[in-house]
Amino acid sequence: MPQRVLLIVSGGIAAYKSLELVRLLRKRGIAVRAVLTRSAKQFVTPLSLGVLTEDQVYDDLFDLKAECEIGHIQLSRQADLVVVAPATANILAKMANGIADDLATTLLLATDKPVLAVPAMNVRMWHHKATQRNLAQLRADGVHVMEPDDGEMACGEYGKGRLPEPEAIAVEVERLLALPSRADPLAGQQDFMGDTGSLAGQHVLITAGPTHEPIDPVRYIANRSSGKQGFAIAAAAARAGARVTLVAGPVQLQTPAGVIRIDVETAREMLSAVEAALPADAAIIVAAVADWRVADAAGQKIKKDGSGQPAPLALVENPDILATLGHHAQRPKLLVGFAAETEKVADHAQAKLAKKGADWIVANDVSGAPGESVMGGEDNAVQIVSAQGIECWPRLPKHAVADKLIAKVAHALSPSAD
């Protein structure tokens, strides 16, 4: 039996891209049934979607004739995943408020299946407080929300709000369909979160990746961090229903569904973005921040002067983001740091716990040749160091470390925790 997606297309100029999305999903062996809102029909015809899905396309007119054959409750539950793409500001607002005034929104209210919303709208509509409030509500309700792309818009403005490429949406659909709890026929939004526990209503702030510290406009100091562990933790926190802010250094990774990502380059930019994101219930500080930066980065490319001597580079220490949070007036209730060590892992982690004012330090051994090391690799073997002692976890894929850590965070933040 193929996996099934109920695709709700709402009305916006990006609606035409739903045709390509259907094609890509079908190519992956996923069955698609489409529902069009009234305004979506201005942009894409039921006939073209019907041809591509090889199925009946549903819209408001379906009620009278087909309700006796297939009720809307049934329609909303026959899929494994409901995808709203493009999701306009209007449909997001209705979803966030439980409004059911047409077939699409009625299905969204009636479904017991996971929902992925893929927003697309004008940049100002995207940044409007009302839209951001609605998105936060949807995430807290367990809806997976993809981040829109940046770029030129159909209306001529430039910024965030473009529908992500259909290929990226198809990858996300596949990922959500592969989550284990999908197999449970009774799985609702909460159950769909897997074993990460619930973080609904909590704000989780995460840093990830390296920082780049400029030497001159073309050179920088960096390290081997890939950002994979931090991104996996952000994805797990979003699946657990948290509002997630991910402050990311320069990495080539896709933003996990439902995560608000802020891209930065340097340690100082990372600190500003972190402080601007406060307050947070928990902060998980994973980034491999460069300890030093060049005191006076050159405005122009540094040239060889012919003497054979390299230009001297004076370094100054960067701010410590974890320690700043540990002693901050708005210190998150739970503060988790990481420690990258190449020797005496537990001892160094204990020392960092006290020095940085963190609640837990997730310590990992980053020794090993490039390519075999935790840095950039797929697995991680960590020890959780806290005032309560040391927990040693087995070597696990980074996403499993992320799920386990988020389950521990959810437990620590739950009202019943002491």
**Which residues belong to the active site?**
155
Residue 218 CB, nearest distance to ligand CTP (Å)? 24
The smaller minimum CB distance to ligand CTP, of residues 96 and 366, is found at 366
Q: Which of 322, 334, 353, 384 binds ligand CTP (CB under 6 A)?
A: 322
236: contact with ligand CTP by CB under 6 A = no
Say whether residue 340 binds ligand CTP (CB under 6 A).
yes
Long-range contacts (CB closer than 8 Å, 24 or more residues apart) made by 187-195: 187/112, 187/113, 187/114, 188/112, 189/114, 189/115, 189/141, 189/142, 189/143, 189/241, 190/142, 190/241, 192/114, 192/142, 192/239, 193/142, 193/239, 193/240, 193/241, 194/239, 194/403, 195/403, 195/407
Q: Binding residue for ligand CTP (CB under 6 A) from 17, 203, 243, 352?
A: 352
411, 197 Cβ separation under 8 angstroms: yes
Q: Is 322 annotated as a binding residue?
A: yes
Q: Using CA atoms, how far apart are residues 210 and 216, in angstroms rounded to an integer?
A: 18
Beta carbon of residue 201, minimum distance to ligand CTP (angstroms, whole number):
25
d(CA 230, CA 242): 15
- Residue 388's CB is within 10 A of a number of other CB atoms, namely 9
The reply, when asked if residue 356 is annotated as ligand binding, is yes
Q: How far apart are CA 313 and CA 297, in angstroms?
A: 9
- Residue 320 counted as an annotated binding residue: yes
Site for ligand CTP in 285-304 (CB under 6 A): 285-287, 289, 291
Instruction: Return the bridge partners of 404, or none.
Output: none
Taking the complex as a whole, the smallest distance from the CB of residue 127 to ligand CTP amounts, in Å, to 28
Residue 352 labelled as part of a binding site: yes
65 is in an annotated binding site: no
**Interface with ligand CTP, residue 338, by CB under 6 A:** yes
- Pick one of 131, 318, 350, 380: the residue that binds ligand CTP (CB under 6 A): 318
- Is 177 labelled a binding residue? no
Distances in whole angstroms, Cα of residue 271 to Cα of each of 125, 182, 219, 259 = 28, 38, 22, 19
As measured in angstroms, the least distance from the Cβ of 94 to ligand CTP is 40
Number of residues forming the site for ligand CTP (CB under 6 A) = 15
Annotated binding site for CTP: 291, 301, 319-322, 338, 352, 356
User: Interface with ligand CTP by CB under 6 A: which residues?
Assistant: 267, 285-287, 289, 291, 318, 320-322, 337-340, 352
Annotated binding site: 291, 301, 319-322, 338, 352, 356
